[in-house]
């Protein structure tokens, strides 16, 4: 009897030890697959874009220009002429018109042909701009300009002519990521106001403002068109940790929140995988969430990266994620973007820029 009891206890202990390990193996296993160096002078960077064909990655490498990286050949193949002097923040790609736009810090857009990479004449829109967005439903380009004293005027252009159609005034000085819903509405995250704006691109009117309680400093945004959901990643504030939130597209109700890493700067939704990815450069972590259904989400894993890995692009063909990094320091003799981190890098070493490839 004693021997039987001991065997049962032993088996129970083994089961308790084995089960958590088995459950832990259920995650995707996203990891750094490859690192590819790009020679050049040290420079900051911002947005990344991948062509729908999955052939090329466009890198907004600021003082190094808008760089074009061949994903199959794993090498830099071009820099769009004139974009280094203009300091490119990244590209907006409009394949239906064979058109790309370099969004330049000096307040210009540099149009270029996607097939030849030849640039056209830069278009001056203001003294400074951050990025632009393309809405295929209305054939309109929305440009995040630098803010004024009482907010920001978004410039709206017609594609492919790039003729100015008008502006939309929003009461935010930090407009960030945005996306159209395919029905003529455009949703834009505003970091300082901690809201998502809904804009009618046909009438150029701000039609709704959705607060994001539980998700302070609303920064990155993506849409689930099929389920009418808004996904936002937030940097957090004094009372709220950095968070991921799911909102109803129609009324703006927050349906789900969960904590993520610090310093978020990108969010990618991969509907084919039912996954959401958030790159967080201060926390040095890539958060991965599963979309179980329209109202149910769960964290899958948090992949350790490194400080500064914050830009993110996803290739649905290869199901790989791309980011960039360089060896940097916070030089206290220069301006530091303390709103992100008191130690945010502002100086980067020559020949240390790298493309990072993540897969599962």
Number of domains present in the structure of the chain: 1
- Per-residue pLDDT, 359: 97
209: in domain: no
- Per-residue pLDDT, 27: 85
109: in domain: yes
- Per-residue pLDDT, 153: 97
Give the Cα separation of 205 and 179 in Å (integer). Answer: 16
321: in domain: no
Question: Quick one: tokens of 335?
Answer: 């301006």
43: in domain: yes
82: in domain: yes
DSSP characters over 183-217? SSEEEEEETTTTEEEEEETTTTEEEEEEE-TT--S
- Per-residue pLDDT, 66: 98
104: in domain: yes
- Spatial contact of 181 and 165, defined as CB atoms under 8 Å apart: no
- Per-residue pLDDT, 21: 45
Supply the range of the domain harboring residue 334: 33-116+326-360
337: in domain: yes
- Spatial contact of 290 and 300, defined as CB atoms under 8 Å apart: yes
pLDDT per residue rounded down to tens, the chain (360 residues): 444 444 444 444 444 444 444 444 468 999 999 999 999 999 999 999 999 988 999 999 999 999 999 999 999 999 999 999 999 999 999 999 999 999 999 999 999 999 999 999 999 999 999 999 999 999 999 999 999 999 999 999 999 999 999 999 999 999 999 999 999 999 999 999 999 999 999 999 999 999 999 999 999 999 999 999 999 999 999 999 999 999 999 999 999 999 999 999 999 999 999 999 999 999 999 999 999 999 999 999 999 999 999 999 999 999 999 999 999 999 999 999 998 999 999 999 999 999 999 999
- Per-residue pLDDT, 2: 47
Distance from the first to the final alpha carbon of the chain? 49
Question: Quick one: tokens of 337?
Answer: 């973007």
CA 145, distance to chain mean position in Å, is 18
- Per-residue pLDDT, 26: 62
Q: What angle do CA 91, 96, 100 make, to 5 degrees?
A: 20
């Amino acid at each position: 009897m004693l021997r039987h009891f001991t065997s049962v206890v032993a088996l129970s202990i083994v089961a308790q030890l084995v089960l958590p390990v088995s459950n832990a193996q259920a995650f995707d296993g996203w990891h750094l697959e490859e690192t590819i160096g790009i020679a050049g002078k040290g420079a900051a960077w911002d947005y990344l874009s991948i062509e729908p064909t999955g052939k090329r990655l466009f890198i907004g490498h600021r003082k190094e220009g808008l760089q074009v990286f061949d994903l199959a050949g794993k090498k830099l193949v071009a820099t769009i002429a004139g974009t280094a002097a203009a300091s490119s923040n990244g590209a907006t790609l409009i394949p239906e018109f064979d058109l790309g736009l370099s969004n330049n810090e000096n307040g210009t857009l540099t149009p270029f042909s996607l097939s030849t990479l030849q640039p056209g004449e830069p278009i001056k829109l203001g003294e400074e701009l951050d990025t632009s967005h393309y809405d295929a439903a209305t054939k309109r380009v929305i440009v995040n300009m630098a803010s004024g004293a009482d907010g920001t005027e978004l410039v709206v252009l017609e594609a492919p002519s790039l003729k100015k159609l008008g502006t939309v005034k929003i009461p935010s000085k930090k407009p960030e990521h945005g996306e159209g819903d395919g029905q003529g509405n455009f949703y834009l995250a505003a970091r300082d106001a901690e809201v998502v704006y809904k804009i009618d691109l046909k009438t150029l009117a701000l039609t709704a403002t959705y607060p994001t309680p539980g998700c302070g400093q609303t920064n990155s945004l993506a849409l689930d068109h099929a389920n009418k959901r808004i996904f936002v990643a937030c940097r957090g504030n004094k009372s709220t940790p950095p968070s991921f939130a799911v909102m109803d597209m129609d009324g703006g109700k927050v349906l789900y929140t969960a904590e993520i890493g610090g310093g978020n700067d990108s969010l990618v939704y991969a509907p084919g995988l039912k996954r959401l990815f958030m790159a967080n450069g201060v926390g040095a972590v890539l958060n991965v969430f599963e979309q179980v259904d329209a109202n149910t989400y769960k964290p899958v894993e948090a992949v350790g990266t490194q400080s500064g890995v914050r830009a993110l692009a996803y290739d649905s063909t290869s199901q790989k994620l791309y980011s960039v990094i360089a060896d940097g320091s916070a030089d206290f003799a220069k301006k530091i973007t303390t709103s992100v981190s008191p130690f945010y890098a502002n100086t980067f070493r020559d020949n240390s820029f790298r493309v990072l490839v993540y897969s599962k």
